[in-house]
Amino acid sequence: MKHPGQDINVEWNQMKMVYNETSSKILGLKAHAREDWISDRSWDLIRQRKLLKEKIVAAPSDSTLQHLRLEYKNLRKKIYRSVRRDKREWADKIADTAEAAAKRGDMRDLYNATKTLAGKNRPKKRPLRSKAGDLITTAEGQLLRWREHFTEDPQPLAGISNKLDISTDPPSATEIHSAIRTLKDGKAPGSDLIASEMLKSDISSAVNMLTPLLSDIWDQELIPEEWRTGLLITVPKKGDLSKCCNWRGITLLPIPSKVLSKIILDRLSKAVEPLIRNEQAGFRPGRSCTDQINTLRIILEQASEFQNEIHALFVDFEKAFDTLHWSAIWSRLEEVGVPTKIINLVKAMYHNYSCRVCHDGLISDPIEVSAGVRQGCLLSPLLFLVVLDGIMLRVNEQVHQGIDWEPVGNLQDLDYADDLCLLSNHQSDIQNRLDVLKSESAKAGLKINVGKTKYLRTGDHVDNAILVGTEEVEMVSRFTYLGSVVAGDGGTDLDVSSRIDKAKGAFACLRSVWQSKHLSRRVKLKIFNTNVKSVLLYGCETWKTTKTLTQKLQVFINRCLRQILKIFWPNTISNVDLWKRCHEDPVGLQIKRRKWSWIGHTLRRDQNHIPRQALDWNPQGKRKRGRPKQTWRRSIDAEMQDAEMTWSEVKLAAVDRQRWRTVVSALCPTGGS
């Protein structure tokens, strides 16, 4: 009896064979036998040294031995000179690559060349610890430990509105062509060894082969067996890397399977995206971390100024993407009105899904997966958002109170994917909402991580503890939210200090680049701007600008620029001349431009956009007596006053992009700080 999925597997194997045989003939296989920067000349000398070593071992007399040892010593010096010359030539070549990438604006090639020159690659082999804490040094033992680690995730429990306007027709050639074009280059293939560049090298041929295969998959609601297996690659995070918990698993899936995922994603997104709440900004076009960070800063700053009580609970889930129940995904898709055909196709991708861990050239036995969204799948972010948004809807239906928020009544939370920030004017509401969230998220397989969940509030009043079940949530005076340090009063001083420390680390890692004699000043400055200054100024759009703050940032930048230009005491140069040589504007001006650019982008959003509403939000309450504290909003008012503009004029100008550029030029005049 023929297996129902046999035809699809045969079609897939035929397509895979065509690509693999063609790529082997044309490209061949990459060899990793030796360092690619060592020349053939040096390898010849190394081989001569090896032969000479054999002669020394077999030397018949002391005089011959002495002569051979002298010859060996001279040959070794010759090898060292040759290898050093090879290293210089190799560095020159990489520097030329970086120069060329900088000229054409190719940031990816520039970053890769910088990474190569920095030479800070982690060692590929390292010991791993067992659950008991014992060191495992063999590759086979480490592979078994990785397999054990990735099978420890919790397993799922047993567990309509009108249908959305989503096409259920088989993928057209136009859709397949468009999906192939959007595939990213330079991504590792799955077990099929078909890279995205192979499909894109001749898109017409790829479309001709994929169209009948995807049509059969669509009709039968079955996918090839190989598409159900992912290769798990471990990527280091922070902390002790001998512990498995400090590594992240990345799954490599067959690239052709991503063509199908992209087509389904495009159809789903158009219909499902408008249904997701405005509070959720993760994985959504036109929304960013800066939006959420600035909204939270404004809330805390304004509440502190008007003596308004704000309670913020930052919720963290344990392995959220790996524990989500599949039944919760299917029921939520059906609940929002996704057609059955689309749901069945997504189910087919998860049916009998498994992973195999790759470690030190070895591959583990398959790990059966029965929970969590598929890592590396284009659909996973949207599927996760849809389920989490459903959870938050049910939570907010049961506990209505948040913070007073005109014009929508109240704001209950700010979310960025699984990073949730629950908000309220009353602690009891936070506790009630947390209890409901714990219950509702557990139904979908999500568990709150009490150790990483934090509670922050404005004011000095001491409240009762916030509890997750019987465990107490830690109260903090500051919290790192989406990479930016947020204090209880919304202040930015702590965040600026944190960014300077991180930028110092980034600058130190590239010391070999700054000291290189092969890179031009222009390329070094390009690398500084992309690898160091981007770290330093992350989230600067949300900072309140003061003279003290800008001076701290400028001192760090000036010190870095002087090191790049190799200007040390007693040689001196004024800051203005330094900036001219480096084509650099004062950091205060750079922050101002980025801030007003973000404000213009935000003001062009619709009226329901929460970050836009935050720009006009004021809580109820009274200001404290005395001189007002500097806030982000007050720094904006001062800059508008300098440009002789009102907030109404700014909002009107932001609608027209061309006019807005003129406004930004007036607000951020060159030569100012």
Q: Which of 484, 511, 534 is the last residue of a domain?
A: 484
Same domain, 299 and 424: yes
Asked if the structure places residue 147 within a domain, the reply is: no
Same domain, 466 and 583: no
Does the pLDDT at position 666 exceed 50? Answer: yes
Same domain, 460 and 415: yes
Higher pLDDT: 447 or 522? It is 447
**pTM of the shown model:** 0.85
Same domain, 513 and 420: no
Distances (CA, A) of 218 to 343, 397, 419, 564: 11, 38, 35, 57
Q: What is the pLDDT of residue 121?
A: 58
Q: What is the pLDDT of residue 305?
A: 87
Q: Which of 446, 466, 484 is the last residue of a domain?
A: 484
Asked if the structure places residue 65 within a domain, the reply is: yes
Assign residue 400 the CATH number of its domain.
3.30.70
Same domain, 47 and 74: yes
Does the pLDDT at position 83 exceed 50? Answer: yes
> Amino acid identity, residue 520?
S
Asked if the structure places residue 40 within a domain, the reply is: yes
Asked if the structure places residue 296 within a domain, the reply is: yes
Same domain, 521 and 649: yes
Q: What is the pLDDT of residue 122?
A: 57
Of 238-247, 469-478, 511-520, give the range with the top mean pLDDT: 469-478
Same domain, 475 and 497: no
Percent of the chain clearing pLDDT 70 (strictly above): 94
Asked if the structure places residue 294 within a domain, the reply is: yes
pLDDT tens-digit profile of 528-563?
A: 988 899 899 999 999 998 999 999 999 999 999 999
Does the pLDDT at position 633 exceed 50? Answer: yes
pLDDT tens-digit profile of 297-327?
A: 999 999 988 888 899 999 999 989 989 999 9
Asked if the structure places residue 342 within a domain, the reply is: no
What residue numbers bound the domain in which 563 lies?
493-618+628-667
pLDDT tens-digit profile of 166-208?
A: 889 999 999 999 999 999 988 889 999 999 999 999 999 999 9
Does the pLDDT at position 644 exceed 70? Answer: yes
Within its chain, how far is the Cα of 431 from the centroid?
31
Does the pLDDT at position 105 exceed 90? Answer: no
Q: Which of 484, 516, 547 is the last residue of a domain?
A: 484
Using a 10 angstrom Cβ sphere, with 0-12 exposed, 13-18 middle and 19 or more buried, the burial of residue 469 is: exposed
Q: What is the pLDDT of residue 672?
A: 43
Asked if the structure places residue 597 within a domain, the reply is: yes
Same domain, 388 and 506: no
Distances (CA, A) of 483 to 94, 273, 419: 32, 25, 11
Same domain, 508 and 463: no
C-alpha–C-alpha distance, residues 257 and 223, integer Å: 9
Q: What is the pLDDT of residue 97?
A: 80
Average pLDDT, the chain: 88
C-alpha–C-alpha distance, residues 163 and 334, integer Å: 8
Does the pLDDT at position 142 exceed 60? Answer: yes
Same domain, 478 and 498: no
Asked if the structure places residue 145 within a domain, the reply is: no
pLDDT tens-digit profile of 2-46?
A: 454 458 999 999 998 998 888 888 876 665 556 677 888 888 998
Interval 584-605 mean pLDDT: 94
Same domain, 558 and 660: yes
Q: How confident is the model at residue 85 (pLDDT cuts 50, 70, 90)?
A: confident
Which residues neighbour 621 within 8 Å (Cβ) at sequence distance 6 or greater? 303, 306, 307, 308
Same domain, 506 and 432: no
> Domain total for the chain?
3
